């Protein structure tokens, strides 16, 4: 997984942080978090799902991890959930 900065998201000239399907957009001291749905609108632009507004950076990371865990789509034991959580958090923090 890669993480990069984008300074021209849809011609808005705003610095954004992209991690996989997720995009963090700074707003003052906080961030707005969006997720690419993989769909295109009528203008052939990506459709994004709003994951949260005015979030701290750490909260954005936690939200991304929990959303990725929800996408697994299988029943996990508590130990399995904790192991997956740690693995995803390690992967994300190493990427940053």
Q: Which residues of 49-71 are buried (b: 16+ CB within 10 A; e: fewer)?
A: eebeeebeeeebbebbbebbeee
Give CA–CA dist 58/62, Å, rounded.
6
Please tell me the pTM assigned to this model.
0.79
Average pLDDT over residues 9-32: 82
Give me the residue spans of the domains in the chain.
3-95
Q: What percent of the chain has pLDDT over 70?
A: 85
Residue 11, pLDDT > 80, answer no
- Residue 4: the pLDDT is 47
pLDDT digits 0-9 by tens, 43-88: 888 899 999 999 999 999 999 999 999 988 888 899 999 999 999 9
């Amino acid at each position: 997984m890669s993480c990069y900065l984008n300074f021209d998201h849809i011609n808005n000239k705003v610095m954004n942080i992209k991690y996989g399907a997720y995009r963090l957009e700074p707003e003052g001291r906080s961030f707005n978090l969006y997720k690419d749905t993989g769909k295109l609108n009528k203008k052939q632009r990506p459709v994004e799902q709003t994951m949260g507004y005015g979030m701290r950076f750490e909260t954005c990371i936690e939200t991304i991890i929990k959303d990725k865990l929800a996408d697994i789509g299988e029943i996990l034991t508590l130990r399995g959930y904790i192991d997956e959580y740690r693995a995803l958090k390690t992967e994300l923090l190493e990427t940053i």
